[in-house]
Structure 1
């Protein structure tokens, strides 16, 4: 478990993958006067608060959440987690690769175009079930087969209760522009892009693009691009890529630049993150 402290702040984290799937990653983190600003992930994310209260940004607004709430975040949805002053909480996070999630919903609901409906979904019973499974797995009280069956069944239950169909139906012009901008930045995350590069690709005014992007995503284009680089860096580090090559591939100026950006998002350095997987 990684530990980070600064005066009266504490952040401890543990990261692992189950033996039965490389498409699932688990995080367990303890926060005291610590948190992360608005960000996105490329995975479907399920968050379970074991104890305490989390000051979260989900569904486009701030909310105070406890163990009765399941945080359900779709890929590329902006969210954040903080603690109230002098408060702490413990959070389990389950990261599901899109291909695994789509396979699961297609098998059970006969469509792959399903998404979480509510970012903060109240279900005390299901939350307790998730937490029990994760705790048992962490302490090796469950066999791999039992854990896999229980986990996937719990995810299926969550999807059946908290679901919406494709978010691309009846898409507005602004939403279409944001989607294209995200695709452009995702494809060119390693380049030193500027506003003209993006707005020219979209054939819109850069001022209109900047204003609309920030209004709809709660992020600046620069922050979004950095988050895309961090997501790619995580993928490379999990595969054992060196820190130097990771920095170069992802478009960071150098390893120091990677370290600084990575720690601001993940709470630990790229080297510390890599050790969990190697």
Structure 2
């Protein structure tokens, strides 16, 4: 018996599986497959060799590799997976190509962070999915690094380049541009865009856009615009979405903020 959550996040396919005694026949994938084992021991057969991957292990499969295995009969197993074409993964990380040298890496801290980002990518909240896409890109840089792939150094980025990114985000606050579009506009891979933006601002592009959106919401509320209209005008999913982010930023709900101003 198994429970599967599955979603597409941009060009990544992600899933979370809870099961008991699940096994897979020998098979291959066209994509790179990255898995994180959270509970249970996985016995893996890969290209005529066998190994075990327990909690804290990250498994890495190149396209076309024959793999199989699973958990022992009756044994609980919880794992998350990410699928991406080698070409897409290379483009996102600013590499000419990607090929994993190690099939299994025991990296408990990285495994937990990667699993948390994949689970976040399964959220029904669009903003959380976008935030976790950013987190995944940065974490995938770490994953390919521990797998034996050498990442190129970050290209030099000027403050004017990051300012251009901020201008693009500010001009499309109601619907922030996808990372691919933002990176293409600036001539950077997703990975190098995120690293440069965070280094300059301390925030990811999505976080920066949300703080600006929330700041503008405060100004509109101060001028008497209703919370529901503010949410609509600034591209929040709904009023409760505005409430959550406004309260996180200012410690007060939009409604209460307007009532306080009227006193």
Q: TM-score, with normalisation over the residues of structure 1?
A: 0.49
Match of 1:193 in 2: none
Aligned residues: 149
1:15 matches 2:3: no
1:115 matches 2:73: no
Match of 2:27 in 1: 39
Equivalent of 1:163 in 148, 169, 174: 148
1:150 matches 2:135: yes
Unaligned runs of 5+ residues in structure 1 are 1-9, 166-278
The Cα shift of 1:49 comes to 1.3
The Cα shift of 1:25 comes to 0.7
Looking at structure 1, the residues matched to 21 and 145 of structure 2 have their Cα atoms a distance apart, in angstroms, of: 35
The Cα shift of 1:79 comes to 1.3
Show the 5 A alignment for 1:24-173: 24-58=12-46, 60-105=48-93, 107=94, 111-140=95-124, 143-164=128-149
Preserved CA contact (<8 Å) 2:121 2:133: no
Looking at structure 2, the residues matched to 34 and 132 of structure 1 have their Cα atoms a distance apart, in angstroms, of: 22
The Cα shift of 1:102 comes to 2.0
Q: Deviations over 1:242-270 (max 9, x none)?
A: xxxxxxxxxxxxxxxxxxxxxxxxxxxxx
Preserved CA contact (<8 Å) 2:5 2:122: no
Looking at structure 1, the residues matched to 130 and 40 of structure 2 have their Cα atoms a distance apart, in angstroms, of: 31
Deviates more, 1:139-148 or 1:31-40: 139-148
Unaligned runs of 5+ residues in structure 2 are 151-263
Q: TM-score, with normalisation over the residues of structure 2?
A: 0.52
Q: Deviations over 1:187-224 (max 9, x none)?
A: xxxxxxxxxxxxxxxxxxxxxxxxxxxxxxxxxxxxxx
After TM superposition, what 4+ stretches of structure 1 lie above 6 angstroms from structure 2?
A: none
Preserved CA contact (<8 Å) 2:58 2:106: yes
- Higher gyration radius (CA): 2
The CA RMSD over aligned residues, in Å, is 2.1
Looking at structure 1, the residues matched to 48 and 79 of structure 2 have their Cα atoms a distance apart, in angstroms, of: 20
Pair 143,160 (structure 1): closer, same or farther in 2 beyond 3 Å:
same
